[in-house]
Amino acid sequence: MPKSVLRRERVLSLLPEPLSDRALEELLSISKADLESHDPETLTISVTPDRLDLLSEGGLGLYLQGATGAAKGLVRERVADEVPAALSVEADGSVRPIRPSIAAVLVTAPDGSVLDAGLLEEAVRFQELLHATVGRGRRAASLGIYPYDRLVPPFRYALEPVANVRFVPLDGSEEVGAPQFFREHPLAQRYGAFGRVGDACLTLRDAQGTILSLPPLLNSRTGGEARVGDRRLLLESTGVRDRTVREMLGSLLVVFLSRGWHVAPVARTSDGTVVADGRDVFLPRRLDLLSEALRSLAGTSYTAAEVERRLARCRFGAHPHPGGWTVEASPWRPDLLTGVDVAEDVILAEAVDPRDGIVPPSRTRGRRRPEARFRQQVATELLGLGLAAPYTSLLVPSDAVARIRGASPIRIANPPSSEFAYVRDRLLLSHLELLAHNTRHGYPQAVGEVGPVVARAPEHETGGETRYHAGVVIARETAGFADAASIVDYLLRSVDIVAVREPADLPGTIAGRAARVRVAGEPVAELGEVHPEVLTGIGVPVPVAWAELDLSRLYPLLGRRDTD
């Protein structure tokens, strides 16, 4: 779990009254943070990866304000009254192949205040923690903190020839050329590949040509050194995706907004055209919390007043509407993706006491559900047919989807790699991958598996629905439509079901050699011969027959059969 050592005095300074060690431990015990150790000066805090904001003094202080009742509701951003007219950052087209995304904001100290040593230390420490977590070691995104009053906007983010770049590194005292910096500096040796391509490197400059930094490596001393006493700071983030960049920058804002600093947007331009006004970095995000979803997850009903009290304690804004609430969340809570995430915070807001729990009525206590026993029965039938039983992943690569024209599985919004880019909607996608990886073995090859898939379901909150399929592929010289049809007929007869087969055009199959099977008008299976173009693409030299049953759709029909 991520961990950080925080300054006790800075955390507690955000509370109106002192907090004892025992009270602090009790409040953290109902959060997603643990107090691992403490002394008179420090608090060692560990958190679950979705609550990184609690690893800054400002973020933990805001949580404790809500938990103690010292403050309630959304932390409203204080937007600066005046924004410099030239405040913008130009993203040159040259950065697109390597690190195309950039976002920035301007933060200003409240009247009578300046950047102090404690706040600067907190910001830098939290910046590095975000680099290691959300930024994936700076590969996905990185952050920069700059002294705005010593710079001249607008700013320019570009890829420049390495030979043309000279600057004084933040930890140095003499100007060096970029070739020497990339050759000798430890940070360049570790992260250099993320900010350089060929003989060019990324730079961030102001209107006078002063280098602020070489993203994502290191700030310059002349234009990138924030110092105690500064009143205005430019915060920026560069990365490979806009969403990650906004999350990084929004998370860093908790350090400053928790201390009352003002924020101003920095517009992003490209080819002289404004492509984003920058306000999406710090404006609250809105999510929908449905009363029925909260009741279902909590296992109990809350009154509207109780829900709103808990939302306020979690530092959310709440606006009731028929059926639930529109919830506003701060930018340092990127973990909140749907109303389910908000419901979790509401449930935990006033602790979950095991002494208050009751065991709800359940058909599954102490035994498998009937649906699970049915799936196991089908899996046993497949094994009895002499089919090998593989275990394949729910996630499939982009190549597996591209080779089957017409397939439309759900794409993951931020996949870790192209190998895990889609959630399969049919077992065929995984089974063809399996055949592709086993071409070195002889034929025949025959596999049968019962496993989960995710079908598109726009009526569901997530847009998908988990279902269970039984899938079979047979690869041999004589494999054909009849093999697939006989397997489907056998499995349906084993549960005493009579079905109707109709011709169908199915993705990845030969036209006229595929069919759909219906029971009581409901489609429960698909089958056919895999198209030769697909087989050529995966290097399989023999015909392949395929059959797939939707067990989640078939099982309810068994009950209808028994009662009709």
| Whole-number Å distance between alpha carbons of 310 and 303 | 11
Domains of the chain with CATH codes: 3-68 (3.30.56.10), 78-170+177-281 (3.50.40.10), 285-353 (3.30.56.10), 370-563 (3.30.930.10)
| Whole-number Å distance between alpha carbons of 445 and 546 | 12
Q: 3-class secondary structure for 295-331? A: HHHHCCCCCHHHHHHHHHHCCCEEEEECCEEEEEECC
Please state the φ and ψ torsions of residue 158, each to the nearest 5 degrees: -150, 170
Which residues are 264's β-sheet partners?
106
Does residue 52 carry a pLDDT above 80? yes
CA 457 to chain centre: 20
Contact 140, 239 (CB under 8 A): yes
Q: Region 432-457: what's the mean pLDDT?
A: 94
Q: What is the pLDDT of residue 562?
A: 52
Total residues belonging to the chain: 564
| Whole-number Å distance between alpha carbons of 488 and 547 | 7
Q: What is the pLDDT of residue 430?
A: 94
Q: What is the pLDDT of residue 555?
A: 93
SS3 283: coil
Contact 462, 412 (CB under 8 A): no
CA distances from 53 to 46, 247, 265, 284, 297 (A): 11, 11, 21, 15, 25
- Shortest CA distance to 471 belongs to which of 491, 493, 498? 491
| Range picked from 48-52, 153-157, 276-280, 558-562 for highest mean pLDDT | 153-157
Please, which pLDDT band fits residue 408 given cuts at 50, 70 and 90?
confident
Tens-place pLDDT, residues 284-309: 999 999 999 999 988 889 999 999 99
Q: Which residue has the tokens 């109707």?
A: 500
Please, which pLDDT band fits residue 367 given cuts at 50, 70 and 90?
confident
- pTM of this structure: 0.66
